[in-house]
Amino acid sequence: MVDLLVYALASVGIFFLFVAAIGVVRMPDLYNRMHATSKAGTLGVGLILVAVAVFYHELSVAARALSALAFIILTAPVAAHALGRAAYLSGVKPCEDTYIDELAGHYQKNHRLESVEVKPPVADPSE
């Protein structure tokens, strides 16, 4: 029974790692590819680590597996955000199907986000 649960968790984890690998090859631009690795990849690795924690009925092993899982869940969004910000600031363009770039014109020369002074246009009530 426990073996079946372990096999199911490992299989689903491997499936999501496959999804991440296919997404990294097939997605049109860098920002879409980062979605594939940081979401599907993290889920796949996490499910495999949960399978390890279920398989061994020891507290020390389960604690190590779950702490590895917690570390990955905490660091994957940070790494993806840092990489996406660096790519955007170094001029990597989104794919051609992208038609809204809300960050355009909001970054200053020193890579600070300027969100206060640039206001969206307000509709004139007199018209």
Partner 1 sequence: MSFLEGALLALTLTLPFAVYRLVKGPTLPDRVVGLDLITSVSVAMAALYALVSGQTAFLDVAIALALFAFLATLGLARYIEYRGHKGD
Residues that bind partner 1 (CB under 8 A): 6-7, 10-11, 13-14, 17-18, 20-22, 24-25, 30, 33-34, 37, 41-42, 44-45, 48-49, 51-52, 55-56, 58, 60-61, 64-65, 67-68, 71-72, 75, 78-79, 82-87, 89-90, 92, 111
Residue number, 91 or 121, with CB nearest to partner 1: 91
| Residue closer to partner 1 (CB basis): 87 or 120 | 87
- Name the β-bridge partners of 63: none
User: Which one, 74 or 122, has the nearer CB to partner 1?
Assistant: 74
Q: How far is the CB of 103 from partner 1 (least distance, A)?
A: 14
**Residue 11 or 98 with smaller CB distance to partner 1:** 11
- Distance in Å, CB of 125 to partner 1, minimum: 42
Answer yes or no: are the C-beta atoms of 63 and 52 closer than 8 Å: no
C-alpha span between 41 and 64 (Å, rounded): 20
Name, in order, each residue with C-beta under 8 angstroms of 72's C-beta and a sequence gap of 6 or more: 42, 45, 46, 49
β-strand partners of 127? none
Distances in whole angstroms, Cα of residue 118 to Cα of each of 92, 105, 107, 109: 23, 9, 11, 15
CB of 24 to partner 1, least distance (A): 5
Calpha distance 18→11 (Å, rounded)? 11
